A = this chain, B = another copy of it.
């Protein structure tokens, strides 16, 4: 468990905060196995002195990795690298990015694209009066040329003016971020049901095949609902896969 002192390089002229420079280098050391799982980090005071930083700054760097689940602190013991392989926790990510990260070559077919009056369900989700004109987008998502999901999204009018070609090329979340929208949180429900004849045809499944359903409302940091989605996934080709961290 004994640790030879790691070397960190800090650039005080950089606009990157010192605690962030340190946490990045620590994280890299953990991921590359330079800091073995279970090994102790060395106490904070000594580390601060060695780096020429104050203890609160070092603590801030360590804390950010504790929040990520990479480190565990124990009073009277020290700070240890977690043993288990931590993958990323569930993020506010889009299916497109997930598929791309998995090397699945995502593609999108835009089936529908225009405005519609909001139904009661959509109006409630977006927080607008029923009947308000809202943007409606219906897409089929493919991976390796095979249908994976049928995506139906409603957005407040005027929020995003992406055309069909932009929608075909990338994910909705990426488009919203590019438009300067800061995504803050989302409320999701994941369930399952049997495919109707129409859904089966679209997704290339037999009628009655089990489908995963997800409904999601996404909010920006002002509390505005920016998107309501109602999606269907082929259970035979897709599952939700994620990591949870305990809330201490």
Contact = CB atoms under 8 A, between A and B. Distances in A.
Interface of A: 37-38, 56, 67, 69, 72, 82-84, 86-87, 89-92, 182-194, 208-213, 219, 221-225, 235, 238-247
Given A184-B72, A244-B92, A246-B185, A84 B225 contact: yes
Number of copies: 2
Contacts of A37: 223
The 10 closest A-B pairs by CB, nearest first: A83-B223, A191-B239, A192-B235, A192-B192, A210-B210, A84-B223, A190-B240, A84-B219, A192-B210, A92-B246
Given A191-B239, A191-B240, A245-B92, A221 B186 contact: no
A104 B190 CA distance: 19
A210 B184 contact: no
A128 to B, nearest CB: 14
A89 B244 CA distance: 10
A175 to B, nearest CB: 16
